[in-house]
Amino acid sequence: MGVLCFVADLPALPPETLRRLKQCWLQLANYYAVAPPSSPPPPPRRSTALGDRIALCYVFFDRLTASRHLKVAYSPGEDFDLCRFHRAVGSMPADAFLPDSSTLDRCDTKLLSLLSDESIYSWSSEDIARKIVVLTSSLPLEMDAALHDSLLGAADKCVSVEFLLFETRSVHLRHMQENTIKFVRSISDLDNCSISACLPG
């Protein structure tokens, strides 16, 4: 199993959507904590420790600096810590939603700080696949050029990114679909990037 890193774009996630996501993360963590290991530990001594393969980050808008910041709420350690993960999910701000977040700094540019030797690359060796799942309801028309170049290099290090778009406002579905099409075109040359959409309800 590779490393799975969730990045929640809090300014673009309505409270109800965030609440459901938190429930999903907790259920995933609970299942992961009791799931048997994919392969038995090497003899002669069996270990009951579970390797840590989940990371949780979120983007929030700092009103003092009028800019977005990326916070790592849970980073993988040597062994998975279910209690620490539950605390990380529970401590995520519940009042970070901004209805006009599309007019602010874009979330995708904050991925640059993850694609560095100090963050996601330090969570496992280079031969282990790592996947970043960005959860948002707002996409830019095209990917930031600096991030685009970083993702080209990240592909060689087994890092992929999936943008999971929550279409929360049905009245704007057509506009969002147009933006999504333009964004997909901007990442069409990146084999390690994809986008999926979740319809309301």
How large is the average pLDDT for residues 114-121?
A: 78
Q: How far apart are CA 18 and CA 73, in angstroms?
A: 15
SS3 content of the chain, % helix, strand, coil (to 5): 35, 25, 40
Q: Cα dihedral sign for 16, 21, 22, 28?
A: positive
List, for residues 53-69, the tens digit of each pLDDT value.
899 999 998 888 878 88
Taking the C-alpha atoms of residue 182 and residue 185, their distance in angstroms, rounded to an integer, is 5
Exposed, middle or buried: residue 50 (CB in 10 Å: 0-12, 13-18, 19+)? middle
Q: Comparing 177 with 162, which gets the higher pLDDT?
A: 162
How far apart, in whole angstroms, are the C-alpha atoms of residue 173 and residue 200?
10
Instruction: Give per-residue pLDDT as tens, 131-151.
Output: 999 998 887 777 888 888 888
- Asked if the bond preceding 43 is cis, omega within 30° of 0, the reply is no
Kindly report the number of other CB atoms within 10 A of residue 12's CB atom: 26
| Confidence at 46, pLDDT banded by 50, 70, 90 | very low
Instruction: List the domains of the chain with CATH numbers.
Output: 8-33+51-198 (3.40.50)
Sequence-ordered strand ranges (E) for the chain: 3-9, 54-62, 67-74, 130-136, 159-166, 193-198
Say if residue 45's pLDDT is above 50. Answer: no
Per-residue pLDDT tens digits for 74-113: 999 878 999 999 999 999 998 899 876 554 455 666 788 8
